[in-house]
């Protein structure tokens, strides 16, 4: 099968993983209301773990320490400014129930998927077997993150159907990135996007999600949220370690 068909199939399959959140629709509403915040805590750990254990080390390897941290800082500052604009814009419009965090997570996830698509597409171009391994690692990374993202969108006031639709739309950037990698065939350096996206993830995790986790006064909630947050970190650490062994 031609490489471009492998890339298209991998891109569509990865985009379909965004629908994993639909599993939450099978859970009774009252029960799901209780698991939304643990999902948010899981997403916070996964976002922070992805940035610290995978994306920043990749950026440092490709571009060096100083440029990587510069682009990471740029990612943090950019999303801070963007959130301030969204908050201001949100306050000057009729209330829709959608908090700016929902839009931020979609933008960050879209950029992350674009970068992932570039990486997987490049791997398929180098070797189909390498492409498959890279796709599996990326998919293992996406599943906990997509579940968490779905929980974040619901927590931000999105309906389940709208959250699934927009989450799937943001996931299509993975296919776009994979096809872009095929078209440019390594002639364009996009390495700066990796630490930049890491900064996006760090900002969302620490500025938006962690404060949500610590807001509950109940000790049991704090223990559960902390445990799922650490689980998100450990899952991404394990996936990154497996990725290193696979290479």
- What per-residue confidence (pLDDT) applies to 68? 92
Q: What is the C-alpha to C-alpha distance for residues 150 and 126, in angstroms, rounded to an integer?
A: 33
For the full predicted model, state whether its pTM sits above 0.85. Answer: no
Q: What is the mean pLDDT of the chain?
A: 79
What would the mean pLDDT of 25-34 be, rounded to a whole number?
71
Phi, psi of 192 (to 5 degrees): -65, -25
| Percent of the chain with pLDDT strictly greater than 70 | 81
- What per-residue confidence (pLDDT) applies to 226? 94
Q: Which single residue is written with the structure tokens 């399959």?
A: 13
Higher pLDDT, 140 or 212: 212
- What per-residue confidence (pLDDT) applies to 244? 64
Q: Residues 146-160: pLDDT tens digits? A: 777 777 787 778 887
- What per-residue confidence (pLDDT) applies to 90? 45
- What per-residue confidence (pLDDT) applies to 231? 92
What would the mean pLDDT of 242-247 be, rounded to a whole number?
63
- What per-residue confidence (pLDDT) applies to 184? 81
DSSP the chain: --HHHHHHHHHHHHHHGGGGGGGGGGS-HHHHHHHHHHHHHHHHHHHHHIIIIIIHHHHHHHH-HHHHHHHHHHHHHHHHHHHHHHHHHHHTS---S--HHHHHHHHHHHHHHHHHHHHHHHHHHH-HHHHHHHHHHHHHHHHHHHHHHHHHHHHTT--HHHHHHHHHHHHHHHHHHHHHHHHHTT-S--TTHHHHHHHHHHHIIIIIIHHHHH----HHHHHHHHHHHHHHHHHHHHHHHHHHHH-
Least confident of 70-74, 78-82, 132-136, 171-175: 132-136
């Amino acid at each position: 099968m031609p490489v471009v068909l492998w890339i298209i199939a991998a891109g569509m399959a990865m985009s379909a993983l965004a629908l994993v959140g639909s599993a939450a629709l099978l859970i009774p509403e009252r029960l799901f209301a209780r698991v939304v915040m643990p999902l948010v805590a899981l997403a916070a750990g996964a976002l922070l773990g992805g940035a610290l254990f995978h994306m920043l080390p990749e950026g440092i390897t490709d571009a060096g320490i100083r440029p990587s941290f510069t682009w990471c800082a740029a990612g943090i500052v950019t999303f801070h400014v963007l959130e301030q604009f969204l908050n201001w814009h949100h306050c000057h419009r009729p209330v829709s129930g959608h908090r700016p965090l929902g839009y931020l997570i979609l933008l960050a996830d879209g950029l992350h998927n674009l970068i992932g698509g570039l990486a997987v597409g490049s791997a398929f171009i180098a070797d189909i077997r390498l492409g498959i391994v890279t796709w599996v690692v990326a998919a293992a990374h996406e599943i906990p993150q997509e579940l968490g993202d779905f929980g974040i969108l619901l927590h931000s006031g999105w309906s389940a159907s709208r959250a699934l639709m927009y989450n799937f739309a943001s996931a299509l950037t993975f296919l776009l990135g994979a096809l872009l990698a095929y078209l440019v065939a390594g002639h364009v350096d996009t390495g700066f996007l990796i630490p930049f996206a890491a900064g996006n993830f760090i900002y969302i995790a620490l500025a938006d999600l962690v404060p949500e986790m610590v807001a509950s006064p109940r000790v049991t909630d704090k223990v559960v949220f902390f445990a799922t947050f650490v689980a998100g970190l450990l899952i991404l650490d394990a996936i990154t370690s497996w990725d290193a062994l696979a290479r």
